[in-house]
Structure 1
């Protein structure tokens, strides 16, 4: 497993950036670089809660919230894959992502919020993430600065 960190400065408050990241209307917009019609399914935004990150075909990832400090940070531990709306922990992809962490940190100073994303991944996805994460963060910036 490898880890990469991606960061961007945004001329907006932490409150605005947090809302852009996790609001049901803006989440699908900034995540289009990964896939289309994305949404999040969870019963609770609390530590230990299960969360599904899925696209319009109900394919994606199943994770749990490891830690959350609203408007400051949130981290997820990936557990498996979602295929056609069904959680699966036995596929090759599920096994590759199991236990990997994805963390978001927001730090605000003088009206500028630095958003940092740290993600664990299988080395074969390095080029993909090095391309898509900066694009996704740029979309978060554009939406937040409107």
Structure 2
């Protein structure tokens, strides 16, 4: 597994950036860089499960390992979802189960920086290397317009 890191500086406060990232409608906008129509189902509580889904109800389930509003959101990925149902860990998902996806906001009086760190299977490095900068640019656009 390879560790990928991304960052972007945004001319907005960290609470505006946080809203641009995790507000339900905004989440749909920026994650369209990965999959058009993607969305999330979550209680948004640390330690609880979160479902990352495509329009057909397929995706993955994870645990929110750290949630500090306006500061950090860390996920630990667990397994696949098919037709809205969590699947047991199989040989395929064993390859990446336990991978992390971490978002940290660093803010000063004028700007906020998003730092993203993800564990990635080699076969998806090119996809995420291309998609994450697009998604972060959408977050920037949303936050700077608020």
Place the TM-score, normalised by the shorter chain, in its bin.
over 0.9
TM (norm. structure 1) is 0.94
Count the aligned residue pairs: 145
Paired position in structure 2 for 1:68:
67
Q: SS in structure 1 opposite 2:137?
A: helix
Q: SS in structure 1 opposite 2:140?
A: helix
Give the Cα separation in 2 of the matches to 1:93 and 1:19: 34
Paired position in structure 2 for 1:19:
19
1:65-93, CA deviations, whole angstroms, 9 ceiling, x for partnerless residues?
A: 11111100010000001111111133454
Structure 1 residue 58: deviation in Å? 0.9
Paired position in structure 1 for 2:6:
6
Q: After the TM superposition, which of the residue ranges 132-141 and 93-102 deviates more from structure 2?
A: 93-102
The CA RMSD over aligned residues, in Å, is 1.2
Q: SS in structure 2 opposite 1:111?
A: coil
1:87-116, CA deviations, whole angstroms, 9 ceiling, x for partnerless residues?
A: 113345422220000000001112200001
**In the alignment, does 2:111 pair up with 1:106?**
no
CA contact (8 A) 1:77 1:102 kept: yes
CA contact (8 A) 1:79 1:89 kept: no
**In the alignment, does 2:38 pair up with 1:38?**
yes
Give the Cα separation in 2 of the matches to 1:92 and 1:57: 23
TM (norm. structure 2) is 0.94
Give the Cα separation in 1 of the matches to 2:92 and 2:34: 16
Q: Which runs of 5+ in 2 are unaligned?
A: none
